């Protein structure tokens, strides 16, 4: 089953059960830094982060491979008069979108790992702009989660990857098996 089919099924079920998408809790806690502008939510799913950011005065571009998710975000955005542009797109081809360099104030990725996105993310964020990412990592406690190592960060991987950025928040939660970074691009 390909990713689009798999995620479409999950999201159809969640929409039917009226499970409201919620924003990442650590992103919400960092809201003092979230002062609005242009944001990009990669692998946005049902748009918990996108909806939250739009309510924080961001103009949000939200990208996902699931048309069920993209249609849902479009509906929510229309219904609540939010500035979100949902786009159905395969992120393995993100370079084809030809985003302008230094054009986003904030890029967000949660629960999705494709390391080939990092160079693009670094290019499209403005100077002094922010990057937030949280996803699974290879902690000692979480070997039974059924997530393959390909989709799990190595310990400290995001710290190393963004070592020349200003790190405003970093956490490895063994309990949740999640690694989180919030960092700012330096001039
Ligand atoms: C675990 S969900 C995370 C959704 C959301 N970011 C969150 O944290 O709730 C992973 C998402 O990645 C999307 N996805 C998987 N492969 C993709 C691809 N190649 N291009 C774009 N989106 C993809 C899926 O459709 C799904 O919405």
Q: Is the C-beta atom of 117 inside 6 A of ligand 1?
A: no
Query: Average pLDDT in the 32-48 region?
Result: 97
Mutate to test the pocket of ligand 1, among 27, 42, 43 (most ligand atoms within 8 A of CB): 43
pTM beyond 0.75: the answer is yes
Nearest Cα to 56, choosing from 79, 78, 28, 75?
Answer: 28
Q: What gap in Å lies between CA 184 and CA 32, rounded to an integer?
A: 14
Mutate to test the pocket of ligand 1, among 6, 13, 42, 64 (most ligand atoms within 8 A of CB): 64
From residue 4, alpha-carbon distances to 18, 54, 71, 175 in Å are: 21, 25, 13, 29
Length of the chain: 187
Q: How far is CA 51 from the centre of its chain?
A: 12
Residue 15 banded pLDDT, cuts 50, 70, 90: very high
What pLDDT was estimated at residue 148?
Answer: 79
Bridge partners, residue 130, by sequence: 106, 184
Query: Average pLDDT in the 36-51 region?
Result: 98
Please write the tens of the pLDDT for every residue from 79-119: 999 999 999 999 999 989 999 999 999 999 999 999 999 99
Nearest Cα to 179, choosing from 157, 148, 150?
Answer: 157
Please write the tens of the pLDDT for every residue from 122-177: 999 999 999 999 999 998 776 666 777 888 999 999 999 999 999 999 999 998 99
């Amino acid at each position: 089953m390909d990713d689009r089919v798999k995620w479409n099924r999950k999201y159809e079920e969640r929409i039917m059960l009226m499970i409201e998408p919620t924003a990442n809790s650590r992103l919400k806690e960092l809201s003092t830094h979230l002062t609005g502008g242009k944001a990009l939510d990669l692998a946005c799913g049902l748009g918990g982060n996108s909806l939250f950011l739009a309510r924080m005065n961001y103009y949000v571009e939200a990208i996902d491979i699931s048309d069920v998710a993209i249609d849902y975000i479009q509906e929510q955005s229309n219904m609540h008069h939010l500035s979100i542009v949902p786009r159905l797109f395969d992120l393995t081809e993100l370079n084809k979108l030809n985003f302008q360099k230094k054009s986003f104030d904030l890029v967000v990725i949660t629960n999705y790992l494709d390391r080939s996105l990092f160079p693009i993310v670094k290019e499209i964020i403005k100077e002094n702009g922010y990057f937030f990412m949280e996803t699974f990592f290879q902690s000692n406690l979480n070997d039974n989660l059924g997530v393959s190592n390909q989709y799990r960060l190595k310990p400290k991987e995001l710290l190393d990857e963004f070592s020349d950025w200003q790190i405003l928040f970093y956490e490895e939660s063994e309990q949740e098996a999640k690694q989180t970074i919030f960092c700012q691009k330096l001039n």
